[in-house]
Structure 1
Amino acid sequence: MGVAALTAVLVTGSAVPQATAGPDRPELRQAVQAFVDAGFAGVQVRVHDERGDWITGAGVRELGKSAKPPTNGRFRIGSATKTFTATLLLQLVAEGRIGLDAPVADHLPGFGLDRRITVRMLLQHTSGVFNFTGEYHPDGTVVSGIPWQGREWVDLRFHTYQPEELVRLALARPARFEPGTGWSYSNTNYVLARLLIEQVAGRPYAEEMRRRILRPLGLRGTVTPGASPEIPGPHARGYHRYEDGGQWKTVDVTRQNPSWISSAGDMISTTKDLHTFFSALQSGKLLPAPLLAEMRTPHPGSEGFFGRYGLGLYVQDTGPDCVGTLLNHNGSVNGYAALMYSTPDGSSTLTASITTGDAATNPTTEFPRLLTGLLDAVFCGERAAR
């Protein structure tokens, strides 16, 4: 859900990074440690490039204990899920099962969708459909959606939402703009994409994800959890800090029902699996070249901190003194954040997990600076050295 969704605050401390796998890279260790020094609870990082694999962790696995985050640990990847969902739908496009510019209403007639909304508009966030987690306008006004933070979400964190329920809630609100006339990030687009996948493929979303992407790539640490609150396998714990009645409270939210975000952000993965998936995607193993090019063609009105948005990923220009184009889709849900970056040929990647805790001050204000420092260390060697 991006930087704005990193509202939970994290544990202070400066636990040293655990031993790394691969050649020592002090500039990367320093960039990783900076997250913990700023107040994030724990970090897992995997870098793959011409020097091989570099894997490390820093901080703690659990508040009040000294164990470090497992470098092979599972974590909630938030909106990085959108790249998986987009790839799945684009595979159906590649097979001719549905057109990229086909009206979505022809396949999902029960929702009364505007017939101008196309598959492309869902994946590019240009449909104008209301975001069921709420709309944030430039003038500072907020139109609320379902609870996704604070005490209200904590109390409801095991509630099950059906995908159709989330879509109908969104469609009951006025559209942000007419289809195709603007750009606005909306989780509703990717829940509609899920329903579209199920309708066209004739199988449940999770089954189709396993059949087309997870099993072929051997992503054994990646799951689409549905309504299950569990994180299978080794993992660090995540925490949500919120204000209630003038008092700050910290709650362990490792177990939570992710159906509230559905196919827009519910997946669980590992740094290794995210590397394998994103590298395979960028190197052309999952989509034919014309559709990969469509995926990487950003909407001109979508410029932001992570770059400009294509079809399920961001396209970022790092400049002539770095690697040039960098593809990414990060994500976060309460307790966890994920990073997923790759060069266009898939040969260099950065994947990471960041967990939250109970810092007295909010380190998310430092997130852009910390992320820039990490990206420079991974992808911009000469610039980082200056």
Structure 2
Amino acid sequence: MRYTILAAVLALALTVCGCDAEPRAGTLQRDVDAIAALGTTGVQARVVGVGTDRTAVSGHSDAVALYEVSPEGYFRIGSLTKTMVATVVLMLVGEGRLSLDDSVQHWLPDMVRGNGNDGAGITVRQLLQHTSGIHESPPEMTTAEDYYRLRYQARDPFDTVASAMRHAPDFAPGAGWSYSNVGYVLLGLIIEQVGNRPWHDEISARILEPLGLRDTRWPGDAPTLPDPHANGYQQFEADGPLIDVTELVDADASVGYLSTTADIGTFYRSLLGGKLLRPEELAQMRTTVPVDGVTGLVWPGASYGLGLFAVPLTCGGTYWMHNGGQTGFLTNAGVTDDGGRSAVVSLSATLAVGADVTQSKGFAQLRMVNELVDHALCEK
């Protein structure tokens, strides 16, 4: 029910607010307008740093009524959830309740086995870093018909893992890199074993409540979004129609949360600013391995730590980010190395990738979002 980080990845009503000089606000507005012009139904972006808090929107929140996009709108954050899960895991590591070198077998006996899979040889670190080799469960929602059939069905995490176990590993643990939602579903189950309560309760108690993130919510089995929100639209095939996919049940530990650009920016600035993890665990999170495949084409020079991408800035240095692609929504959150400035952009339509990935509108969407984040973080 979700898209992997690359699977589906912008009309001109607009507003801008903030306290920066007009040229900077103008750059942000031009970037969101360009994303909307590609065919994305709605776009909202927020840049926050010392002396600046500005937003820009473009497009519409509803393809029929053509309402204006709200800069405070809720959206499905998709895989940005992974950074929160990784943060909780590292908090447990810092408390001595869990080790990055613990095996999956130690915490989830006999769950990862069969067809060459062996949880005894896969570590918590490898799950966090997408180096476990576990084969990703095949996507369930690849057509509009799939969406209408599956949108209200909650997926059991044990079923998700079992589906992956029907396939041989993609590579031996630690011998490669491949983005894995299943790995984070397993991490959610491990958090529950260590903490003796649901993984999302740990996120609430350890991250959301201390940071005052009242607009970040785990939806459970509820298929709707709070107001205000933009409707989400999915293009299932190249040149096909945009299908309204706003209602959806999909809330596991790989993609589960709803949030706003303000809350997401606060979370990432707090994390990289050292407010959530001890220096030792934050250093582990920032220890990266190279990425490859289409991911490397979308983010040239990128590498992956524990729940975070490191991406080169065109102005020099590195920023930290995660992308979240979930049916109908695409989000990027980037933050400077010191946590001083964040840029969050949310799109309420995901365009099709198609057979020729790099020539598709979905690929162009991702690259234009990356340019917006780069521009926002490079501004002086």
TM-score past 0.5 threshold? yes
Runs of 4+ residues deviating >6 angstroms? none
Does the 8 A contact of 1:228 with 1:258 survive in 2?
no
Cα distance in 1 between the residues matched to 2:82 and 2:143: 20
Cα distance in 1 between the residues matched to 2:351 and 2:183: 33
Deviation per residue, 1:130-153 (Å, 9 max, x gap): 111x3xxxxxxxxxx534554223
Cα distance in 1 between the residues matched to 2:5 and 2:128: 20
Cα distance in 2 between the residues matched to 1:19 and 1:257: 32
Give 1:155 shift. Answer: 1.8
Cα distance in 2 between the residues matched to 1:357 and 1:172: 29
Look up the match of 1:324: 317
Matched residue type, 2:108? L
Q: For 2:154, what is the secondary structure of its paired residue?
A: coil
CA 1:369–1:249 in structure 2 vs 1: closer, same or farther (change >3 Å)?
Answer: closer
Does the 8 A contact of 1:63 with 1:357 survive in 2?
no
Q: Structure 1 residue 288 and structure 2 residue 287: aligned?
A: no
Does the 8 A contact of 1:130 with 1:174 survive in 2?
yes
* Greater mean alpha carbon deviation, residues 82-91 or residues 43-52: 43-52
TM-score for both structures, normalised by structure 2: 0.88
Look up the match of 2:18: 21
Look up the match of 1:379: 377
Matched residue type, 2:131? T
Give 1:369 shift. Answer: 3.9
Q: How is 1:42-191 mapped onto 2 (pairs within 5 angstroms)?
A: 42-111=42-111, 112=113, 113-132=118-137, 134=138, 145-191=139-185
Matched residue type, 1:97? R
Cα distance in 2 between the residues matched to 1:170 and 1:2: 14
Cα distance in 1 between the residues matched to 2:228 and 2:154: 24
Matched residue type, 2:247? R
Cα distance in 1 between the residues matched to 2:231 and 2:290: 38
Q: Structure 1 residue 269 and structure 2 residue 262: aligned?
A: no
Which of 315, 320, 323 aligns to 2:310? It is: 315
Q: For 2:47, what is the secondary structure of its paired residue?
A: strand
Look up the match of 1:141: none
CA 1:198–1:347 in structure 2 vs 1: closer, same or farther (change >3 Å)?
Answer: same
Which of 231, 234, 242 aligns to 2:236? It is: 242
Cα distance in 1 between the residues matched to 2:101 and 2:276: 20
CA 1:56–1:301 in structure 2 vs 1: closer, same or farther (change >3 Å)?
Answer: closer
Cα distance in 2 between the residues matched to 1:368 and 1:208: 31
Q: Which runs of 5+ in 1 are unaligned?
A: 135-144
Cα distance in 2 between the residues matched to 1:177 and 1:369: 29
Matched residue type, 1:104? V
Look up the match of 2:357: none
